[in-house]
Amino acid sequence: MPKMKTKSGAKKRFKLTASGKVKAGQAGKRHGMIKRSNKQIRNLRGTDILSSPDARTVKKYMPYG
């Protein structure tokens, strides 16, 4: 059997934790900062753990983690 290929867009955007959860960058920080509060901008820093339905979709594209 040949090796399965990882979707290259997914490997750039997501990381898997040791327990198998999916980490991703926070959404909502690309543009339009003037309409967001400082508290919201501050809370959107860093990465976030995806919800389980979203994580299931991402894991399909990352067969080897």
Q: Write out the DSSP string of 17-61.
A: -TTS-EEEEPSS-SS-GGGS-HHHHHHT-SEEEPPHHHHHHHHHT
**Whose structure tokens read 């920080």?**
29
**Which residue from 28, 27, 33, 29 is spatially nearest to 13, judged by alpha carbons?**
27
What tens digit of pLDDT does each residue of 1-60 get?
A: 899 999 999 999 999 999 999 999 999 999 999 999 999 999 999 999 999 999 999 999
Q: Beta-carbon neighbour count of residue 14 at 10 Å?
A: 20
The model scores a pTM over 0.75: yes
Q: What residue segments make up the domains of the chain, in order of their start?
A: 8-60
Q: State whether CATH 3.60.10.10 applies to domain 8-60.
A: no
